[in-house]
A and B are shown apart, each in its own frame.
Chain A
Amino acid sequence: MTRSLSCISALVLALFLSAGCSRKYSLSASQLFAPATSLQQISFCNGAATQQAWYRCLVNGKFLIKKIHLSGLLLLKYDSSTKATRAVFTNELGYTFFDFSIRCPDSFSVNRIMPQFDKPYMIRALRQDIQLLLGMAQAPFSSCSSGNNLIWSASSMNDKAYFYTNDKGSKILQTDVVAKNQLKARILTTPAMIPGQLPDSFVVAHLKTNFRIEAKKIVHEE
């Protein structure tokens, strides 16, 4: 826990100060986006948010010359009583770093957060990561095809989100977050075998703030 406290402080500082280098974003699609008229077309939006998984998480970042490393466990679980997905991140010794409830892109609440994480920019970044991982973004969605994939475009907290899915739109493979025409973050997912399930693993790369979250599903005994 002690190591975690110092790492979190540095991570928060990195998020706050780092402007970082940015990249011009170009979409790998030759066709124009067309409005997605029915949400049912976007099956990934209605699946993952009602599932449950524990992940082993490793966070790596760099602030100036100082490297930051943090590890822990992340629970994503749909709570039918509140119709919200809970996202709980703890360290290995069991201490809770944060506990969020996410119902839809506009309905979000913090149940608990440790002081080192309790910064608006930190909460915003984590909220966006988790929402996009669950396939949540603000309608309207539009889509186009790109090779064997579909690309879905929508808004996410004043940024643009591009979901790259399989040809059926049932499995998210990659999500790009674009702000001011520059790639801000990329989420690469290894989808579960069954469509609509939470991914087996994912990597979130925050390009501006230079930190990276790696997560892999764990199986635990009841």
Chain B
Amino acid sequence: MLMRKLLLSLFLCSFFTSASAQPKGFHSVANTASLQASLQKATSALQSISSDFAQTKHLAMLTDKINSKGKFYYKRADKVRIEYTTPFRYLVVMNGGQMLVKDEQKSTRINTRSSKTMQSVNRVMLDCMRGTVFSNPDFVVHAFDNGKQYLLQMIPAHEAMRKLFDEIDVFLNRDNYDVERLNLKEPGGDFTEMNFSHSLHNTALNDALFKLH
């Protein structure tokens, strides 16, 4: 009898846990392997992306938001440029394990290979932008579908990453697998949304965009 109650409690707990983990309006993707294969096929044909982005930082317990805008560029296989233009100027370039960060005063070049945390952060950013999150060992990925978008919910797999993120949500266009929205949720309730628009695929992008100086 006791065992039966325990099993029932465990069942109810797991039911409510999985029910609450499912985002509103989305249902779990039954065949994740098929989605992974389609995503891999789409990204393997991808040579470059250029798009606009709008970023909104939401603060827990406050209604305030800070909005910023800029341009995003990706070039196969590991070149990324995130260029903030409004309301401040800020540039992040990733290229072959190196990173350039430039603000109004200074440019800083970082070798991300010298630190495991930096490698992880570099990788998660690349994976989110190009939609290759399933292969990231730092996260457990759950896939959901709402008929228009796939949602890849990335849950940190280890403590170091859990200190940085509660969860990262990657919203993909269901037809072409474009990353349309990123939601980076922090411990404590703050979150940052990045919405991508006017995406262009496989256009010629000058290598100068990804220069590290």
Query: Interface residues, chain A, CB within 8 Å of chain B?
Result: 1-3, 5-6, 52, 54, 56, 58, 60, 69, 71, 73, 75, 77, 79, 86, 88, 90, 92-96, 99, 111-112, 114-115, 218-222
Say whether B25 faces chain A, with CB atoms less than 8 Å apart: no
**Interface residues in B181-213 (C-beta closer than 8 Å to A):** 184, 186-188, 190, 192
Say whether B88 faces chain A, with CB atoms less than 8 Å apart: yes
Shortest beta-carbon distance from A2 to chain B in Å: 4
Dominant SS at the A interface? strand
Interface stretch among B1-9, B26-34, B58-66, B149-157?
Answer: B58-66
Interface stretch among B14-22, B37-45, B105-113, B133-141?
Answer: B105-113
Which of A1, A3, A52, A96 is in CB contact (< 8 Å) with B188? Answer: A96
Which residues of chain A have C-beta atoms less than 8 A from B112's C-beta?
2
Shortest beta-carbon distance from A220 to chain B in Å: 5
Shortest beta-carbon distance from B128 to chain A in Å: 11
Cβ contact within 8 Å between A92 and B84: yes
Contact with A along B126-167 (1 / 0, CB 8 A): 000000000000000000000000000000000000011000
Cβ contact within 8 Å between B59 and A88: yes
Shortest beta-carbon distance from B117 to chain A in Å: 7
Query: Interface residues, chain B, CB within 8 Å of chain A?
Result: 55, 57, 59-62, 64-68, 82, 84, 86-88, 90, 92, 99, 101, 103-106, 108, 110, 112, 115, 117-118, 121-122, 163-164, 184, 186-188, 190, 192
Task: Show 22 A/B contacts (Cβ-Cβ < 8 Å), sorted by A.
Answer: A2-B118, A2-B121, A3-B101, A5-B121, A6-B110, A6-B115, A54-B66, A56-B88, A58-B103, A58-B104, A60-B105, A71-B90, A79-B61, A88-B59, A92-B68, A93-B55, A93-B92, A94-B184, A95-B164, A95-B184, A96-B59, A96-B188
> How far apart are the CA atoms of A1 and B184 in the complex, in Å?
13
A221-B67 CB under 8 A given contacts A6-B110, A58-B104, A75-B59? yes
Cβ contact within 8 Å between B108 and A95: no
> How far apart are the CA atoms of A105 and B86 in the complex, in Å?
35
| Total CB contacts across the A-B interface at under 8 A | 100
A222-B188 CB under 8 A given contacts A3-B108, A71-B90, A92-B90? no
Which of A1, A71, A99 is in CB contact (< 8 Å) with B103? Answer: A71
**Given contact pairs A6-B110, A69-B105, A95-B164, a sample of 17 additional A-B residue pairs in the complex whose CB atoms are under 8 Å apart:** A5-B117, A5-B121, A58-B103, A69-B108, A73-B57, A73-B66, A75-B59, A88-B59, A88-B62, A90-B66, A92-B84, A93-B55, A94-B184, A95-B192, A111-B60, A218-B88, A220-B66
Which residues of chain A have C-beta atoms less than 8 A from B86's C-beta?
221
